[in-house]
Structures are given as C-alpha cells and as structure tokens.
Structure 1
C-alpha cells in the first residue's frame, strides 16, 4: 500500500488560552479527495495553516510524503486560501504567469497550460482583461488556476466554494474530479455536508477543535446506516427531540441514542446538532 501523502498527528493549537485545535489526527491517502468538514470556527483553517507550516502546532506533528516537512515540499503543494488575494491591476494572463514564476515554472512552459485552463474554465475571452474587471466567481477560477499551474502533487483548498453561484460551484466540482483523475491528492475544507458527500473519498469532521468522526466515507455510511445512532456530548445537550429528523431519544449510560425519522439522513442530523451548538464528543 502506498504511504499517505499527508498525515496529521495529534496537533494542538491555542491562542491566548483559547484552544482552537485539540488533538486532531487524520491521514490522507494518495490520489484521493479528503474533506475537512466543520462549521465556521471549528478549527479547519487553523489545521490547514499548521499543515502548511504557516502556524506551528503547540504539539503534535505533520508529515508530508511519509516524512517530516522540508523546504522543497512547498513546490509539491498547491494552496488555495479562503482569503482570496489577486493583483487587481494585472491582466489575467500576466497574473497567472506571475504565479507560475513564483513556483519556478518558466513562462514558455506556463503559457500553454494557462491557455488550456482558461479555455477549460470559460475565461479565454478574458485573458487580456484586468483582474478587477472580473466577477468574484471568475476571480476565484483564476486563483484556482494559479494553484494548479505548477502541477502540485497535493492540493489544499480552504473553502473553495465560498461565494460561488451554483454554476461555478459545479465547475469547481468538475475541476476537482478532473484533478483527482489526473492523480492529484486533494484536501479541501467545507462547512457544507452535501459538498463533502458528493466529492470525498474520506472525511474528518471537526467540532470546536476536536475530531468527532474520521474515515472513509463509504465505510462511515455503512457503519452509521439505518435510522438510529448514538452520540456522546462534551456538555449536556438541549432538546434533542426537537431537532429536525429526530423521532425520539433514549439515554444509555453517558450516550444519547437518537431514533431518526425514516427519511432522515444521520449525517445531516449530526450537522444540525453541531450547527445548533451541541458539543459532540463522540459519534
């Protein structure tokens, strides 16, 4: 079996006494799409920044390509941050040439790739336009192109669908699927469960800085199938029976057993619990 291209081992990060990420671990196999799932403020971006060595963990470690990180790994990774950053006065092509150069890609090699990607993303007609003339969705496509131009082995995308209309979301999903078929390993964060279910081979669900659930999505669905699941909470929850999709609740030792309505999706019910402020310790 091929070694994982990314391993996060028991990382923890605090800010001024606030625990942002607490003992988070997960493994991303090569050639897969891995979803880092959780509500805003769950700790996803902090985890990504520790993976990229933008932040140093207080404890724990991150392994890339089966070993500790080194300076050369930056050329093997493509990163799309949640905060978009483009030089608005540059033309689309010049901006992409600049980004390619930052990753050591010569203009002669970058130009054909830029032309292919602009055609693929329906931006070819805008190649000589300034970035500031583009819509937000177009600008996000430009930034994603800049993320993949140097043909990184691992792509890390932080909330890539944020602010996109349904058409551009569909195009981004198609691009992610295309990159996976090309052998890329992709980690992306999202707070929308449906996106993770449609795209991911595996997921890690984080709530309030801690891992609630992690593993292969197909296995999770098999194990959690049916209309009953158990959850343990870090703090006493509110009215669980009032959550949409929950028919009744039993208390067994320190676990709550939730009986769901026949059409309810257990993963969506869990997402509703977290959105409602429940601190899920185990699922």
Structure 2
C-alpha cells in the first residue's frame, strides 16, 4: 500500500519510487491518473502491468490481485492521492488479502489528515482527552449532516473532516452550529493555491463566500478540541444532581451543555459514579 503525493510531486518517498519501479504490477484507483504520475518520475508502465482497483470494483478486482500474488507476482497499490485505505479505496482490498492469508505492507507518506493537524495548532487541553478523531466525509443530506455535526459537538477531542468543493458551503453552514469553537480549514494542501486559515466555526461560511477561489479544491477541516474547565468540581456537582433525576445519556448531555465539559469525559465519570453507587 503505497502513499503518493496529495499535490506536490516532490512529496514522494525514495522507498515508494523504488517499489513502483520494481514491482510486477501496479494496482491503482485510476490507471490514467497513475500513468501520469508515473510518467513524471520516468516510471511509465505498459497497460498489462496496470490493474484498476477502485470503489466500484474492489471486490472483483481484489480476486485478480490475489491470483497474481499467489502466482508469485509483486504488486503495489496506489490511490489517486495520499495514503490508500483511509478515505480512498484500498481497505476492502487489504481485507480480502487478509482473508486468504496474504500480507499488506504499508509504505507511509503524504496524508491530508495528518498534514492538516500538523499546522492547525489544535492543542488538546491539559485536562482533556488526548488524540484525535477522524470523521472523514459527513453525510450529504442536510438533515443527516446536521445530526452528525451535533454528535461532533459533544466530542471533546480534535476532529478531522474531509469535504469536496461542491459541498463545502453546506458543510460550513452545518458547522456554524458549533458557534465559537475554533476550526482550521486546509485547502489544496501542498498545491500551488494552498490556503490554511483558522476561525470560529460560526464565521467559516462567510469566509468561504468572500472569495470564489476559497471554495475550489479539496478540503481538510480540523475542529479544535473543546476546552475543558480547569475546575472540574462544578461539572461533577451538576452531573450528580442530574443523574438523580435523569437517564445517564440525558444527564451527561445537559451537564455538558451547562458546564462546557466534554461529553465523553462526563460519560466516563457518570459510569464511575454508577459503579461506585452499586458497590456500596
């Protein structure tokens, strides 16, 4: 599984170039796109050494890959850009290989997800939850997208989303419900018109609409982590009062809204309180 550049062709690794040069066959999301990339490195392949494996034929094409591997061939898989199997095709191919006892080997490289996080400055609060959540592409229907955003509102960790240009305004309008929560938008990462900006979620739609150029390209959006109050005593006091009268999920939801503490943190504490009560 070979990661390829997401924009700037210089972001290819030496190991990736070596593998793409020496394998018997290159499986890829789009043979024409991949041939263009290979040509830029002087590695163009004849058609019989290329195999299309994309989201519409992954199941069937995976069998061809399996047959070739069982014959002793060496195969590299690349998506159109970035790391395969994350939001790009490739995951089903790896699953099919695992099912028959074959190995998939990762060749790391460019990724819009980690690239966006690296420049967002989305530092996790000292008393908050560490790590980040990759949410990928949200639903395309408005109601489902809004529902997904409301779930993300209760996620205290840094969250990364991806979006296409024709839906970015709709996405920004949905994210506006997060109010002052900081959002970093990374557009066209590593490309000529790369644009990275951080602002409150409520201002994102207006910022995008201020210039036609800002809605072009591919987007990675980083929702900064929710700040956790330094004093957790008030949050726990509110949670305890609500748990007396309400179901756990409802009590956690209201406590998060009242105190600004992350839902995940409050939910874990609610479970601890229940366990303590049951043991007494």
Is this a same-fold pair by TM over 0.5?
A: no
Structure possessing the higher relative contact order (Cα contacts under 8 Å, 6 or more residues apart):
1
Q: Which of these two proteins has the greater Rg computed from alpha carbons? A: 2
Q: Which has the higher strand share?
A: 1
TM-score normalized with structure 2 length: 0.30
TM-score (norm 1): 0.30
